[in-house]
Structure 1
């Protein structure tokens, strides 16, 4: 029984030694060629595949550990540098966006002012919308048209009245001339008759 235990211990020692030698030999692969060219995930997978666990401890060579440590720190530094660069870039882009937003707001304000100016007209020093201005102009035109038409009709009516009055005056003047002529002829006839009567009386 004791001999069996000794043989089992020897066998276990040989197995452990074999695993250790295998791990050592495997880790003797050109680490300098593998680890520096791999990502951290690949490096961890490489270590996980090429090493073994003993009593919940993983045996890893010092140079491999140092290489992974350097690679991790380098990757961390690169990440920090990239993060810093991206932050600076983001701040720069944010400033550009703010500048573009300010420019856009200014352009929108200018466009609004130009649109308001284009759609408005100064009337007696007051900004008036073009539609309101057109309404006022059409109202003024309508009032002036009414006044003009009323004036024309009044002028035409006055002209007709004047023409009729003048015609009546001419007719009245003709009647007066005829009456005066008739009166004169009547007076002349009466004078002749009176003269003839006197002449008869003198000769008789």
Structure 2
């Protein structure tokens, strides 16, 4: 049992050692002066440079190479920054243009809706609700006038009929009176003629 425990501990320590060595080897392989990130290149220079007391001794060629890579990286960052600024400005201009276009479209839409919801009457814009109320008022007024004229016409017609009836009665009475007067006149003439005939005889 103790043998197994010791064997296990020995195996774990051995594997840990190999794992640390492998990781260190991998890190060394990743570090390079001409490849990788700027951070890796600085780390390469720091680790590979020599020591003199508390100072690090670095090859000048490495410093020039590191400087060139750093400048290239900074130039790339500046170019990316300039490109990004240009894109941002372009997008800002496009957004402003879209805002203006949207404002114009909204204004046109409002005008269209207002025109759709209103009716031109004698050159003045009027809402459809007001137009309907006005039309119904005009129709009611015309209907009232029609009823008034119908009433007046019937009243006048009744008066005309009454007047005609009275005129016919008056004409009938006049005709009766004329006939009676004519008969009386004829009777008086006959009597006068008779008297004249008697006197002659």
TM class, shorter-chain normalised? 0.5 to 0.7
1:172 aligns with 2:142: no
Offset at 1:98? 1.0
Q: Aligned to 1:134, which of 104, 127, 132?
A: 132
In 2: Cα distance, 1:113 partner to 1:58 partner: 78
In 2: Cα distance, 1:145 partner to 1:54 partner: 118
In 2: Cα distance, 1:42 partner to 1:121 partner: 77
Offset at 1:88? 1.0
1:109 aligns with 2:107: yes
- Identify the residue that residue 68 of structure 1 maps to in structure 2: 66
1:157 aligns with 2:155: yes
Q: Aligned to 2:77, which of 45, 67, 79?
A: 79
- Identify the residue that residue 11 of structure 1 maps to in structure 2: none
In 2: Cα distance, 1:81 partner to 1:103 partner: 32
SS at match of 1:82: helix
Please report the RMSD computed on the Cα atoms of aligned residues, expressed in angstroms: 3.5
Q: Which has the higher contact order (CA 8 A, sep 6+)?
A: 1
In 1: Cα distance, 2:56 partner to 2:168 partner: 145
Moved more, 127-136 or 163-172: 127-136
User: Per the alignment, do residues 58 and 132 of structure 1 end up closer, same or farther by CA in structure 2, a change over 3 Å counting?
Assistant: farther
- The number of residues matched between the two structures is 175
Residues 47-81 of structure 1 show CA distances to partners (whole Å, capped at 9, x for unaligned) of 67767988765565554444433322211111111
SS at match of 1:38: coil
Name stretches of at least 5 consecutive residues in structure 1 with no aligned partner: 1-25
User: Per the alignment, do residues 104 and 182 of structure 1 end up closer, same or farther by CA in structure 2, a change over 3 Å counting?
Assistant: same
In 1: Cα distance, 2:138 partner to 2:63 partner: 97
SS at match of 1:153: helix
User: Per the alignment, do residues 56 and 139 of structure 1 end up closer, same or farther by CA in structure 2, a change over 3 Å counting?
Assistant: farther
- Identify the residue that residue 181 of structure 2 maps to in structure 1: 183
SS at match of 2:125: strand
In 1: Cα distance, 2:120 partner to 2:51 partner: 92
Moved more, 99-108 or 174-183: 174-183
Q: Answer yes or no: is the 8 Å Cα contact 2:50–2:57 preserved in 1.
A: yes
> Which TM-score applies when normalising by structure 2?
0.66
1:97 aligns with 2:95: yes
SS at match of 1:168: helix
In 1: Cα distance, 2:50 partner to 2:192 partner: 181
Name stretches of at least 5 consecutive residues in structure 2 with no aligned partner: 1-24
Residues 7-27 of structure 1 show CA distances to partners (whole Å, capped at 9, x for unaligned) of xxxxxxxxxxxxxxxxxxx9x
